[in-house]
Each structure stands twice: as C-alpha cells, then as structure tokens.
Amino acid sequence: MSGQETFGTRLRRAMDERGPLCVGIDPHASLLSAWGLNDDIAGLERFTGTVVEALAGSVAVFKPQSAFFERFGSRGVAVLEKAVAELRSAGALVVMDAKRGDIGSTMAAYAETFLHKDSPLFSDALTVSPYLGYGSLKPAVDLARENGAGLFVLALTSNPEGAEVQHAVRGDGRTVAATILGHLAAENAGETPLGSFGAVVGATLGDLSAYDLAVNGPLLAPGIGAQGATSADLPAVFGAAVRNVVPNVSRGVLRHGPDVMGLREAAERFAGEIRVAVEGA
C-alpha cells in the first residue's frame, strides 16, 4: 500500500527510541509452573496479560511463539490475537514466530494469516522457513510489501541440526545459508533506513566472518541469556552488521515474572547492556 511506513522504518525507529531488544513470549508449561500458574487457558491468559502489562509500553519488539498458544486450540489463539492487538496498540512491534514455510496457495494462506492487514493475527513481521526454496516464500514477500510488514527468514540458526542444511555447499560453491542471505540483500536493495526482510542468525554461533551479513535488513538473533550468549558477544558475532541486530531474550526476562517490576527491570537491564555493546562496537 503506497504511502505507508515499511517494517524496516518502524523497526529502526522503535529500536532507537526504546532500545534494541526483542522479548520472546514463550508460555511453555515449565515457565507457567515457575510463575505458579496452571498449564491451562487461565494460566496462559494470566501469563500473557502480565507480560503485556509490564512491557508493552517500553520494549521495542516482541516475539510471541505461536505454537505455545496454538496448543490450547481456539481459546489459545484468541489469547494470542488479543496480545498482538494490545502490544501493537502500545507502540511495540510484533514479530510472529510461526516459522511457516510451504508452496503455492498454502504459503499464500499462511501469509494471509499473519501479514494481511485485516487478519486478527496481523503482525509487523513473520518468521518463515525457506527450505522449500527461497522462491516458495514469494506470496509472503509480496503480501508483506503490500501491507508494510516484514519477514525474518531462517538462515543461520543456532540449533546443531541446522548445520546439515544451512552449511551445505551448492553447485555454485556457496553454502545454502549464504544463498539465503544473498536473496535478502536483493530484497532490501536501496531501502532506507533499513530493509524489511531480515534473517534469523543465532547469537551463539561465534565468528560468522565467513558470511556476508550486510543484507541491509534486520538480523533477529536468539540465544542471549539462557542459551549462553551475552550482549557483549554481539559485536564479535555480527561485526559491521551489529547495529541491525534485533537481539531476542526470552527466559532471561520472563523468569523474573510474575512480578511486573521484576520483568521491567530485567528488560531494561538487557536493553541497556545491548545498547552499550552495540554503540561501543
């Protein structure tokens, strides 16, 4: 839609104003239990509502993991819909972590679920899997452009199993991951201040200098906190692209609930540490 702000523009502003932090919303059973909540719809509602109340007005980006809501059926999806609406109303951006990936009309339907402005689950961006071929993502790319949304494409993930696909070398001598990064750079060519099509790149991966991460788009970086990476690691992992990193912290923040002030203080601490690391790089 002409005239609307792109996801990349909104993301750059949100991170500059609120700090470069993405908080994951992952209401898995063990976390609900740690909060003293039952693993049921009431626990899900209480958990999600508390996170929104505590952080929606101050954190730049949230990444709800769709699966942890979907497991409760339609009532869980309704909780997710409400959270998305409330987070975006408070000025935060929502990256839906659904990792959708398919072909043809099915991929188009996934895109309509999360990237169509009239959908109750409309999000600022969606995580997607390119491993049916990057071209299979075209319906999502097109709809994201139309509605001022973005994508985060799985490229260099931190799970050990990912290497067997992502590090595989193609006939042209490039790895699969490098090919995905190249596609994203092409999508973002000429965009300012930041393109809307980013990559998922694990913060736990160490030296990535063999890869060109300068895709002129955001790099969603899980792994800080419970998975072992720290804010101070970011410049070494991401190099010159570090300012475009969207560091994701989930358990590192959420374990401080259900206390609202505990959640806020944890998020502020992570955002401050990340800002210092990025600005000092």
User: Any idea how long the chain is?
Assistant: 281
pLDDT in the model for residue 280 = 87
Mean of pLDDT over the chain: 96
Contact between 181 and 215 under an 8 Å Cβ cutoff? The reply is yes
pLDDT in the model for residue 154 = 98
Tokens 């309704």 locate to: 78
Residue extents of the structural domains in the chain: 7-228+243-279
**Residues 48-106 pLDDT 10s:** 999 999 999 999 999 999 999 999 999 999 999 999 999 999 999 999 999 999 999 99
pLDDT in the model for residue 178 = 98
Q: Rounded to whole angstroms, how far apart are CA atoms 174 and 232?
A: 30
Percent of the chain with pLDDT over 70: 99
Buried b (16+ CB within 10 A) or exposed e, 225-244: bebebebebbbebbbebbbb
User: Taking residues 220-245, what's their average pLDDT?
Assistant: 92
Per-residue pLDDT band at 250 (split at 50, 70, 90):
very high
According to DSSP, the residues that pair with 62 across neighbouring strands are 23, 94
pTM value is 0.97
pLDDT in the model for residue 225 = 76
- Position 201 pLDDT exceeds 90: yes
pLDDT in the model for residue 161 = 96
For residue 263, the tally of other CB atoms under 10 A from its CB is 22
For residue 104, the tally of other CB atoms under 10 A from its CB is 10
Percent of the chain with pLDDT over 90: 95
CA proximity to 196, closest of 280, 259, 124: 124
99 counts as catalytic: yes
Classify domain 7-228+243-279 at the CATH superfamily level. Aldolase class I (3.20.20.70)
- Position 228 pLDDT exceeds 90: no
- Position 182 pLDDT exceeds 70: yes
pLDDT in the model for residue 1 = 43
For residue 19, the one-letter residue type is G
Q: Which of 63, 99, 117, 138 is catalytic?
A: 99
pLDDT in the model for residue 10 = 98
Sequence-ordered alpha helix ranges (H) in 66-137: 66-70, 74-89, 104-115
**Residues 206-217 pLDDT 10s:** 999 999 999 999
**Residues 135-155 pLDDT 10s:** 999 999 999 999 999 999 999
